[in-house]
Amino acid sequence: MWNDLKTLAAAREGRRIDALFAEDPARAATFSVSVGDMLLDYSKTQLDDEVMNALLAVAEEAGVAGRRDAMFSGAKINETEGRAVLHTALRNLSGTPVEVDGEDVMPDVLETLARMESLADEVRGSGITDVVNIGIGGSDLGPKMAYLALQPYCDGPRCHFVSNVDGADIADTLKLCPAETTLFIVASKTFTTIETMTNAKTARDWLQARGVSPEGRFVALSSNQEKAAEWGIPAERVFGFEDWVGGRYSMWGPIGLSVMIAVGPEDFRAFLRGAQAMDDHFLTAPFPDNMPVMLALVGMWHNQVLGHATRAVLPYDNRLTRLPAYFQQLEMESNGKGVSMDGAALACDSGPVVWGEPGTNGQHAFYQLIHQGTRVIPCEFMVAAQGHEPDLRHHHELLIANCLGQSEALMRGRTLDEARGKVAGKFEGAELERQARHRVFPGNRPSTTLIYRKLDPATLGSIVALYEHRVFVEGVILNINSFDQWGVELGKELATALGPMVSGAESADSKDGSTRLLLTYVHKNVS
Ligand code: F6P
């Protein structure tokens, strides 16, 4: 199927996106899709009807609809770990039964949500000034991203997020927190992650060193209730979730507790409802009108068919500053795999490298390469029609103008003739020609734009669920397991073995020359 798509791509080589708009005045309406008040415009790409139909056929053939229904209904689609994949149950506020192994999981999900809400209310009214979430990967990126995104809704204690095992992270955070009024949340699905357990112990020692009892100061969010109990956190302060919630899909449940404490249970529910609305859309909309499906297909056209290896996520929304990092884990931990479900080598490239920064900052840093570099980088812009600062409307207008200006510039580019016009009068002859060439923009660079009314909790929920489902669709088409992450294991094992070599307790003679050289440097320079 990739070969057919590559043939279609070859037949379109050199065709200009701006010419497609000239040929078809209705292009923007045809190549865009709406859900609620969110609009995804993918018309600034080379897609046309024939390519679209071919991509849709690929999605049909791959069995996306069947696999999607299997996921929502609790089938064990995470085959390498023998687990269901049910983060969608965490936002199933209607409580419609969802069964795993013949048992409805919803009563437990809703009970845990209610317990979280009563703890959040208690903490918000208790004089706690600071909450420190200690977790890493999926136990950090989601809540931190959402906390920053929802700042206008935060009216609870200040939240901090400690993830790195580098002592600098917790040391710098603890300097900001009064020991008497700080609550620690130990967020770890497994409750064994070395970074998190090391930071949690440091936090406990810090409290004790200040004469504050750790009792009542720690909450655990984990699937491993036994380990949390061993660590000394009583059952009523442990919020559990099942193994059918993957780490990078977990902020909808207990892992979102810091966000719930910050914004309050009502706004957290709005966040869940926004995600649930996207779930309903994903389940019911025909594929051509299905936003996650279309976003996935456009992404695959760029990555697997045209071979553009990276994808930039560019929110023109400063509060989404951690969204690109969140999407990095979502996409790259889910779809960065080399074998298909049956263990055979993948016949095409796996998921893309995802990176990005909020606009307009990125414009003054790396957009140079996006506009004039030799590689094409498909860009995914995001922007709200409204900001949260009515007094600063002129800022928001500039923000929108920049967002739209960038996608237009990427598409149109600037010809040599136009560039000559820019320098005419300043230079002459060969120098004019040389100067003009530096000012040429190739253009024809694809982008999509997701536009929404305002970054409120429901919209944030919808955006994140949109991307979750997009990654899911890509994974089904690639026939990979998007829900395991074996690729993170080897480095962890080797780090554990290296620990005693770093401290000097064990010899490093068995190691390669490079590792020995680096360890020798450490041993010579440790104070
Ligand atoms: O590094 C891999 C990983 O397992 C991620 O998938 C996960 O989000 C993170 O580590 C943290 O894991 P835990 O929540 O179990 O501490």
For residue 193 and ligand 1, the question of a CB distance below 6 A is answered with yes
Using the mean position of ligand 1's atoms as its centre, give its distance from the Cα of residue 405 in Å.
39
| Mean per-residue pLDDT, 318-336 | 98
Closest ligand 1 atom number to CA of residue 248: 8
Q: How high is the pLDDT of residue 344?
A: 96
Give the containing element (helix H, strand E) for 162: strand 158-162
Q: How far is CA 39 from CA 32, 59, 327, 449, in A?
A: 7, 22, 19, 8
Using the mean position of ligand 1's atoms as its centre, give its distance from the Cα of residue 296 in Å.
25
Choice among 395, 422, 492, 523 that is catalytic: 492
| Mean per-residue pLDDT, 410-416 | 98
Using the mean position of ligand 1's atoms as its centre, give its distance from the Cα of residue 330 in Å.
12
User: 105-142 pLDDT, tens per residue?
Assistant: 999 999 999 999 999 999 999 999 999 999 999 999 99
Which protein residue's CA is at the shortest distance from atom 1 of ligand 1? 488
Of the listed ranges 105-109, 158-162, 345-349, 394-398, the least confidently predicted one is 345-349
Residue 305: half-sphere exposure toward Cβ, Cα within 13 Å: 30
| Mean per-residue pLDDT, 44-61 | 97
| Mean per-residue pLDDT, 351-361 | 96
For residue 247 and ligand 1, the question of a CB distance below 6 A is answered with yes
CA gap 475, 497 in Å, rounded: 33
Say if residue 17's pLDDT is above 90. yes
**Mean of the per-residue pLDDT values of the chain:** 97
Using the mean position of ligand 1's atoms as its centre, give its distance from the Cα of residue 136 in Å.
6
Which protein residue's CA is at the shortest distance from atom 3 of ligand 1? 137
User: 255-309 pLDDT, tens per residue?
Assistant: 999 999 999 999 999 999 999 999 999 999 999 999 999 999 999 999 999 999 9
Split at pLDDT 50, 70, 90, the class of 1 is confident
Choice among 242, 333, 357, 474 that is catalytic: 333
For residue 488 and ligand 1, the question of a CB distance below 6 A is answered with yes
CA gap 237, 99 in Å, rounded: 27
Say if residue 2's pLDDT is above 90. no
Closest ligand 1 atom number to CA of residue 222: 14
For residue 334 and ligand 1, the question of a CB distance below 6 A is answered with no
Using the mean position of ligand 1's atoms as its centre, give its distance from the Cα of residue 524 in Å.
33
Contacts with 232 (C-beta within 8 Å, 6 or more apart), sequence order: 214, 218
Specify the residue for token string 């909309």.
285
Is residue 333 flagged as an active site residue?
Answer: yes
- Tokens found for residue 414: 């600037």
For residue 254 and ligand 1, the question of a CB distance below 6 A is answered with no
For residue 173 and ligand 1, the question of a CB distance below 6 A is answered with no
Split at pLDDT 50, 70, 90, the class of 164 is very high
Please return the burial class of 303, using the count of CB atoms within 10 Å of its CB with bins 0-12, 13-18 and 19+. buried
Q: How high is the pLDDT of residue 426?
A: 96
CA gap 328, 380 in Å, rounded: 13
Give the containing element (helix H, strand E) for 400: helix 393-412
Tell me which of 488, 492, 494 to substitute to probe ligand 1's pocket, judged by most ligand atoms within 8 Å of the beta carbon: 488
Closest ligand 1 atom number to CA of residue 139: 14
Beta bridge partners of 424: 427
Using the mean position of ligand 1's atoms as its centre, give its distance from the Cα of residue 247 in Å.
6
Say if residue 527's pLDDT is above 90. no
Pairing of strands 38-41, 447-452: antiparallel
Is residue 408 flagged as an active site residue?
Answer: no
For residue 248 and ligand 1, the question of a CB distance below 6 A is answered with yes
Establish whether the linkage from the previous residue to 360 is cis, with ω within 30° of 0: yes
CA gap 302, 159 in Å, rounded: 38
Is residue 364 flagged as an active site residue?
Answer: yes
| SS3 labels along 207-266 | HHHCCCCCCCCEEEEECCHHHHHHCCCCHHHEEECCCCCCHHHCCCCHHHHHHHHHHCHH
Using the mean position of ligand 1's atoms as its centre, give its distance from the Cα of residue 243 in Å.
12
**For the chain, percent of residues with pLDDT exceeding 90:** 99
Q: How high is the pLDDT of residue 473?
A: 98
Choice among 175, 364, 438, 524 that is catalytic: 364
For residue 196 and ligand 1, the question of a CB distance below 6 A is answered with yes
Strand, helix or coil at 125? coil
